Amino acid sequence: MIGKLFAADLLKTRRTGIWWVVLIGAAGLAAMQALNFGLRYDYLVYDTYAADPWGGLIKETSMFVPIAVYLAMTLLMGMIANIENRQNSWKQTLALPVRRSEVFASKLLCCLVQLLAACVLLAASTAAVGLLLGFGGPLPYLDLLTLGFYPLLASLPMLGVMLWMTLTMRNQAIPISLGIAASMVSVFGASMPEILPLSWPMLVVRGHETLRFVGLGIALFAMLYLLGSIHFSRKDVA
Amino acid sequence: MTEMMIETRNLTKKYRGTRAVDALNLAIPQGEIYGFLGPNGAGKTTTIRMLLGLIKPDSGLVQIFGQDLKRERIKILRRVGSLVEYPSYYGHLNAVENLETIRRILNVPKNRIDEVLHTVGLTKDAKRSVKGYSLGMKQRLGIASALLGGPELLILDEPTNGLDPSGILEIRELIKKMPQEQGITVLVSSHLLSEIEQMASSVGIVNQGKMIFQDSMPNLQRKAGSEIHIALSDPEAGMITAREQGCFPRLDQGKMVFKGIDNGQIARLVSALVDARHSIYRVEERRKSLEDLFLTMTGSGSADTADADFRSGSGAPRAAGLPREAAQ
Residue B290 pLDDT level (bands cut at 50, 70, 90):
low
For B211-258, how does the pLDDT look when each residue is reduced to its tens digit (9 = 90+)?
988 999 888 877 777 788 999 998 988 999 888 888 888 888 888 998
For A177-211, how does the pLDDT look when each residue is reduced to its tens digit (9 = 90+)?
999 999 999 989 889 998 999 999 999 998 878 99
A3 chain-B contacts, CB cut-off 8 A: none
Task: Kindly determine whether residue A91 and residue B49, on different chains, have CB atoms separated by under 8 Å.
Answer: yes
Evaluated on CA atoms B43, B48, B50, B54, the torsion sign reads negative
Q: Are B76 and B5 in contact (CB under 8 A)?
A: no
For A132-182, how does the pLDDT look when each residue is reduced to its tens digit (9 = 90+)?
999 988 999 999 999 999 999 999 999 999 999 999 998 999 999 999 999
Q: What pLDDT is recorded for position B306?
A: 37
Using the Cβ of B80 and the Cβ atoms of chain A, whether some distance falls under 8 Å is answered with yes
Rounded to an integer, what distance in angstroms lies between the CA atom of residue A3 and that of residue B76? 21
The interface pTM score, or ipTM, of the predicted complex is: 0.91
CB-nearest partner of A8 from B53, B78, B104: B104
How far apart are the two ends of chain B, measured CA to CA in Å?
38
The SS3 of residue B212 is strand
Q: Are B320 and B300 in contact (CB under 8 A)?
A: no
B15 chain-A contacts, CB cut-off 8 A: none
Helix (H) or strand (E) holding A213: helix A210-234
Backbone angles phi, psi at A134, to 5 degrees: 85, 25
Rounded to an integer, what distance in angstroms lies between the CA atom of residue A159 and that of residue A71? 10
CA-based nearest residue in chain A for residue B79: A97
Q: Mean pLDDT throughout A48-60?
A: 94
Q: Are B91 and A87 in contact (CB under 8 A)?
A: yes
CB-nearest partner of B93 from A5, A14, A88: A14
Rounded to an integer, what distance in angstroms lies between the CA atom of residue B247 and that of residue B239? 9
B87 chain-A contacts, CB cut-off 8 A: 87
Using the Cβ of B84 and the Cβ atoms of chain A, whether some distance falls under 8 Å is answered with yes
CB-nearest partner of B101 from A12, A99, A238: A12
Q: What is the DSSP string of B25-54?
A: --EEETT-EEEEE--TTSSHHHHHHHHTTS
Burial class (CB in 10 A: 0-12, 13-18, 19+), B270: middle
CA-based nearest residue in chain B for residue A236: B55
Helix (H) or strand (E) holding B22: strand B18-24
Task: Kindly determine whether residue B105 and residue A92, on different chains, have CB atoms separated by under 8 Å.
Answer: no
Burial class (CB in 10 A: 0-12, 13-18, 19+), B295: buried
CA angle B153, B157, B159 (to 5 degrees): 100
Nearest to A158 by CA among A216, A83, A231, A74: A74
CA-based nearest residue in chain A for residue B92: A15
Domains of chain B are 4-221 (3.40.50.300), 226-287 (3.30.70), 291-327 (no CATH)
Instruction: Say how many CB pairs under 8 Å bridge A and B.
Output: 83
